[in-house]
A and B are shown apart, each in its own frame.
Chain A
C-alpha cells in the first residue's frame, strides 16, 4: 500500500512567523504532488501543486519537492491566524490516476 506520511501536529507558530509543513511518500512512481488546506468541518481546498524538483512559490506559500528523498514540504510565510487549519499532503501516481493523502498536519497560528 502506498503511504503518505505527515506529522499530525499540532504545529503552533506565532503570527508573522514561517510555518514549515513536511510530508514523505513511499512510492517512487509518484509524479504529482499537492497541498490542500482543510478548515474544521469543511472539505479540502487546493493550496499548491508541484510536479518537478525544486521550489514553487505562490504568494505567501512555497512548495518544495525532492523526489530523490521522496519529500515534499510547504512553507507559509507571514503566517496569519486565518491559516490555522489542517494541511493535507497528496500524491498522485499518474499512470493510475489515484490520489493518496496523508492524515494531515494541524497548524495553529497564534495572534
Chain B
C-alpha cells in the first residue's frame, strides 16, 4: 500500500488561505468518505483537525475546512496564523491487506 500523495510544502502570509491536496486511488480516498487530517507542530504528537472529509472535532477553529473530489481530498486553512505552522498529514481508510494509509505530509510555512 503506497502512501497518499501530498505536496512537500506550502506557504502563505498571515491572513491568506492555503490548500493542501491529498491524492490517493480508487481503493482509498476515491471509495470512502473516511479521510481525516492531522496537524503536527515540531516535536509534538499529531492532533486530529478534520474527520470524515469535512467534520471538525470540538475545539478546532473553523478556519480549517476539508473537502473531497474523486481520488483527491483537500485541506484549506483560511486566515493563516503563525500558530498554523506545522506538518499536516491526510489519512484514509483503505481496502486490501491494511486498514489505513497516511499521506506523505506537507510542511506549512507562515511567511
| Real binding pair | no
Residues of B whose CB lies within 8 Å of any CB of A are: none
Residues of A whose CB lies within 8 Å of any CB of B are: none
